[in-house]
Amino acid sequence: MKLNIKSRFGTDRIKCFASIFFAALLCRWAVFLFAWNASGTDSGFFQAVYDAFVKAGDTPHYIEIAKNGYTAAGENSNLIVFFPLYPLLMRIFALFSQNYFASGLFVSNVCTGLGACVLYELMRIDLPEEDAALGLALFLLFPYSFFTSAVYTEGLFLLLSASSLYCMRKRRWGGAFAFGLTCALTRTQGTVLAFAFAYEMLIDFSKTKRLDKKAAAAVFAPLLGYFIYLLINKLVYGDWFIYLDFQADEPWYNKAQWIGENIKQHYDMAMQYKDGLAMYIYFPQLILFFAAAALLLYGLKNGAPSSYIIYGGAYTAVTYLHGWQISGGRYMSLCLPLFIIAASAKSKTAKYTALAASAMFYAAMSSLWFSGYAIM
């Protein structure tokens, strides 16, 4: 039976988007509720949510930045490694809630729902409704995609990156400028949108022999966002690139290395931690790298938009240039071209098999994370 979102939920676009919005959040919170119920804890659900979210990872860091900003001295001076837009939004909405954690949850979950709607519309540019719905499901049930509803940047990055690509494809360069700039203020990977924008601008130029000034401005928007972040480094610390020093130091030990070195490192760590971290950090990171490469090659062969191949390739490269990577699964969950390419595959059997397998791993990973496992 054909999967038709608009037919199933009515022809009204508002109803369609409302259905997508709440389905996206249901995917997250249903599994959190299941994990809480299965844990047998005496804590109430919302206390358990708070405990799970702040136990490990970056949530406490974003709360600290939202409260006090960046500081050049003291134990929190290294928090400049986290980009500014998400904690800024947390601070703004905390003016109403008086609770930074609740503010972060609000921002992340609203962005998750809206981002899912934009992602569906982005997929509909190239795909029929059934494939677009399947592509959205592949994203929502990707094993590490639950982070979009946590107090992390993933939900915000989803909304901004999907909106950037959508505006690019529709030639709404003013929107591409705004979303590209803010995307680069959210995460490092946002800067590589410039490559996709540049390609589409050059394609238009080759056809019209006229340079679109708005498109040219959009190309530089992600770079402007990154410059603003570097300017914050300079103003607070007196060093444009101080964040790189903090990244390379403890507790992250995260400095740029050749991708081949990092892949070997992932393999060595997987062999060292076979019974623990390997299962939900290192082996998945290895698998995702080669799966991403295979999907991008498939897309290149089968006519996926070249700007998606460029963006997806650059996104993957930036992600795997990081040494001592432990968040590769989380980062790759936002490489949106991969889901669009996967949804365009000709074999329905392969696509629905992938969806079923992904859903099982999604339930497992999100439950383990909620239960306190070191999935970051």
Q: DSSP string covering 80-126, please?
A: GGS-SHHHHHHHHHHHHHS-HHHHHHHHHHHHHHHHHHHHHHHHHTT
Evaluate whether 315 touches 335 at the Cβ level (below 8 Å).
yes
C-alpha dihedral sign at 296, 289, 85, 370: positive
Evaluate whether 63 touches 90 at the Cβ level (below 8 Å).
yes
The verdict on residue 334 lying in a domain is yes
The interaxial angle of helices 59-68 and 85-97, nearest 10 deg, is: 70
Evaluate whether 375 touches 368 at the Cβ level (below 8 Å).
yes
The verdict on residue 48 lying in a domain is no
Claim: this prediction has a pTM higher than 0.85: yes
The verdict on residue 280 lying in a domain is yes
Average pLDDT, the chain: 93
**Where do we find the tokens 């997250």?**
28
Q: Which tens digits make up the pLDDT trace of 346-376?
A: 999 999 999 999 999 999 999 888 888 888 8
Evaluate whether 134 touches 182 at the Cβ level (below 8 Å).
no
What does the pLDDT read at residue 163? 99
Of the pLDDT bands very low, low, confident and very high (cuts 50, 70, 90), residue 52 is confident
The verdict on residue 120 lying in a domain is no
Q: Which tens digits make up the pLDDT trace of 223-266?
A: 999 999 999 999 999 999 999 999 999 888 888 889 999 999 98
The verdict on residue 284 lying in a domain is yes
Q: Please, which residues have CB within 8 angstroms of residue 163's CB and are 6 or more apart in sequence?
A: 115, 118, 175, 179
The verdict on residue 282 lying in a domain is yes
How far apart are alpha carbons 173 and 177 in whole angstroms? 6
Three-state DSSP at 322 gives strand
Query: Which two structure tokens, joined as six digits, stand for 313?
Result: 């390739």
How far apart are alpha carbons 348 and 218 in whole angstroms? 37
Domain that holds residue 284: 255-345
* DSSP code of residue 284: H
In this prediction, residues 61-83 reach a mean pLDDT of: 96
Q: Which of 105-109, 162-166, 180-184, 271-275 has the lowest mean pLDDT?
A: 271-275
In this prediction, residues 198-215 reach a mean pLDDT of: 97
The verdict on residue 66 lying in a domain is no
What does the pLDDT read at residue 4? 55
Q: Please, which residues have CB within 8 angstroms of residue 255's CB and are 6 or more apart in sequence?
A: 244, 247, 248, 322, 323
Q: Please state the domain count of the chain.
A: 1
Of the pLDDT bands very low, low, confident and very high (cuts 50, 70, 90), residue 279 is confident
| Whole-number percent of the chain with pLDDT over 90 | 78
What does the pLDDT read at residue 252? 82
Count the Cβ atoms, other than its own, within 10 Å of residue 277. 17
The verdict on residue 314 lying in a domain is yes
